Structure formats: structure tokens, C-alpha cells
Amino acid sequence: MKKFLGRTSGCLMVLAVLAFCIGKSDIKVHATEATRKALEEAKEKLSETKDQLEKKQDELDDKKDDITNLNQEKSELENKLDNLNDQLTEVSDNLSSLEDKIDVKENEIYSTQEELKEAIKTKDDQYAAMKKRVQFIYEKQSFMLMDMLLDVGSFADFLNQSNYIAALSGYDRKMLLAYEQTCEDVEAKENLLKSQKEELDTAKAEVEAEQSRVSGLVNQTSGSISQYKKNISSAEEEAKNIEAQAKEYESQVESQNDDVKKLEAKLAEEIRLSKLAKSSSWRSIGEVQFAEGDRELLANLIYCEAGAEPYEGKVAVGAVVINRVLSSVYPDTVVGVIYQSGQFSPVGSGRLALALANGSATEACYQAADAAMSGQTNVGNCVYFRTPIPGLTGINIGGHVFY
């Protein structure tokens, strides 16, 4: 440490003090601008996420309404299907009854046809017998008269024989007429039965057509119900996906709310520090008593934060640390500033401890540490730095913006 102080010329010290005095009246903590911008962006992102969540919730409500409507329509179709099945059962029963009646009618027609055949045969037989008797009488008339004359004992017996022959002929004619009437009656009955069967066949055809129509409606309705079930299943799956997306947005909203609260708290703290910095006093570099090890500590922090940066970037990081040491808002030692909670990420991640253990700081890092500890600054009174983000303004050096 003494070696470092010995290298500092009096002229350089005077210049540093003068520079500090000139800039002291315009000391500002610029972090609030970046934090306010970050807060605005976080709120905007939160608002967008809430809008997306609201859209998803509306979409989910619409999808649930669709599912309700689909279920209602499916229920109506199922009721319709039940009614159609009842109709189909009734039509099938009617068809079965008609088929039974047709079978009975066909049996009756068959019996009547057999009866008609028998009547016609009887009529034909009677006609043939009568014809033979008439023919016999006609052909054997002289012979029969002679037999009748020879066999009868009296004229009365002869008349009786003649009356018998006449009665026999009249009976034959009467029976022939009766058989002809029977044939006509049976034929009329057959025609009636055929007419009735035709009516039954017509009714059967109509019932079969109705059965086909109702069966078609049953199949169509069953198909519609199956399609509704598929649509409902698809809608329910879509609803699950939408609900999952909504939950994801809800989680994002919760996380972004936390981010906004943290940024609001950070902004409030930085505003407090900014106000405090404006009214606080700053020390000159000559008032700082560096401890042994500060140079090594600062050089290794510079290595962790700006090891890949150009030399100007390394000096700028060192200057931020020394600016904090000079400001009454922050700890007044290099160790205090570097190890202040939540300020430098290499501290929290363990990278700084590893760099110190391995002696990782390069010669350029030590040179930058020496320059900063001598009061040199290429970032004015900036006390923050980070990688650039949209809306953050400051002094850009290398891959950092200083503010």
C-alpha cells in the first residue's frame, strides 16, 4: 500500500482533488432511470400477459360453452334415438303381425284353392255321371221301354218307373247346379282372399318402407351422436390445452407481479440512494486509506467483471468501485463496497473467491486497479454498470453501460 501511495505524485493528487471538486456539485445516482425503465417494461410485460390470460380465459369460457351446447345437442339426439328405436320396435312388431296375417291368408288361400279343386272335380264327376246316364237312357231307350213294359205288372208301375227316371234326371241336374254354385262360391272366396292378401302385401310394403326409413334415421342419428362424441372429446381436449395455457399465463402473471414488486422496491431504494447521494458529501481520493490487499481484491474483481473487456473497460469497472468508496452513500472501504450484499455478481457466484485463490488477475487488471485507486475515472461519478438493455442510457465502454 505504501508503495502505491509513493507512486502517486503530488501533482496527480491535486488534479484529482480539483476534478472531484468541480464535479461534486453535479453528483447524481443514475440508477433510478434504468430501474424506472425496467419497471415500465416489467409492467408492460405484465399487462400483456394479463391480456393474454384474459383472452385465454375468455377462450376457455367459450370452449366450455361449446362443450355444454354439444352435450345438450347430444342429449337431444340420444332422446331422439330412443324415440326412433321405440318407433322401429313398433314398426317391426307391426311388420311381424302383418307377416303372420299374410301367412294365415296364404294358408286360407291355399285351402280355398284345394277346396275349389275338389269342388270342380266333384262337379266334373257329377257332370260325367249324369252325362253317362243321359247317354245310356237315350241309347237304350227302346230296350228300357221293353223291359219296363215286360217287368211292370200294371200301368201304374210303368208310370212309377217313368217318374223314377225323371226324378233321377232332375236330381242330377239339381246337384250339377249345386256344384256349379259351390264352385262359384269357392272361386269368389278365393278372389276375396287374394284381394285381402294384396291389401296385406301393400300394407306390408308400406310398413317395410317405414321400417327402412326409421332404420335409416336410427343409423343417421347414431352416426350424429358418434360425431358429437368425437367433437365433445376434441373440444374437451382443446379446453384442457387452453386451461393449461391459462395456468401458465397465471404463473407468468404471478412471477411478473413478483418482478414488478422487486423492481418497485429496487426503484424506491435507488431513488432513496439518489436523493441521499445528492445531499451527501464525497471524499477526495486523498482521504481514502487503502488497506493491504485492496489492490489485489480490486484487480481480481476487475478480472471477473471485465477480464475480456478492453483496458478502458477495466479502468471503468475499477472507477465504479472507487466512486462508491468516495460516496458517503456506500461503504467507505474497497472491501466494504465489493462485498456489500447483492452488488457484484462474482461475489455471490463464488467466481471472485476462485479468482483470488488462483491469482487470476492479469497485469492489465492490476494496472486498471492502480489507475482507479489513484483517482482516475473515465465514467465520471457513475456508481453502476451492467450489460446494455433497451432504454438504459449511460456511458458505453466495451460490453458495459455505466450509469
Q: Which of 8-12, 103-107, 311-315 has the lowest mean pLDDT?
A: 8-12
pLDDT digits (tens, 9 = 90+) for 120-174: 888 788 777 777 766 666 565 555 555 655 565 665 665 666 676 677 677 777 8
Nearest-angstrom CA–CA distance, 381 and 278? 12
Give the three-class secondary structure for 385: strand
Per DSSP (E only), the strands in 283-387 are 385-386
Instruction: Give percent above pLDDT 70 in the chain.
Output: 79
Q: What is the DSSP string of 259-294?
A: HHHHHHHHHHHHHHHHHHHHHS-B--GGG--PPTTH
CA 316 to mean position of chain CA atoms: 56
In angstroms, what is the C-alpha Rg of the chain?
Answer: 62
The position carrying cell 456508481 is 383
pLDDT at 179 over 80: no
Q: What confidence score (pLDDT) does residue 3 get?
A: 35
Average pLDDT over residues 350-376: 97
Nearest-angstrom CA–CA distance, 178 and 5? 161
pLDDT at 8 over 60: no
pLDDT digits (tens, 9 = 90+) for 217-227: 999 999 999 99
pLDDT digits (tens, 9 = 90+) for 75-92: 898 898 898 899 889 888
302 near 361, Cβ under 8 Å? Answer: yes
352 near 361, Cβ under 8 Å? Answer: no
Nearest-angstrom CA–CA distance, 62 and 237? 14
Tell which wins on pLDDT, 21 or 276. Answer: 276
Q: What confidence score (pLDDT) does residue 23 get?
A: 38
Q: What confidence score (pLDDT) does residue 1 get?
A: 39
Q: What confidence score (pLDDT) does residue 356 get?
A: 97
> At how many degrees (to 10) do helices 311-326 and 363-373 cross?
40
Residue 202: count other Cβ atoms within 10 Å of its Cβ: 10
Entry field: residues in the chain: 403
Q: What is the mean pLDDT of the chain?
A: 81
pLDDT at 298 over 90: yes
Q: What confidence score (pLDDT) does residue 364 get?
A: 98
Instruction: Give percent above pLDDT 90 in the chain.
Output: 37
Q: Which of 11-15, 182-186, 390-394 has the lowest mean pLDDT?
A: 11-15
The position carrying cell 460490453 is 399
pLDDT at 271 over 90: no
Burial class (CB in 10 A: 0-12, 13-18, 19+), 243: middle
What number of CA atoms fall less than 13 Å from residue 246's CA on the CB side? 15
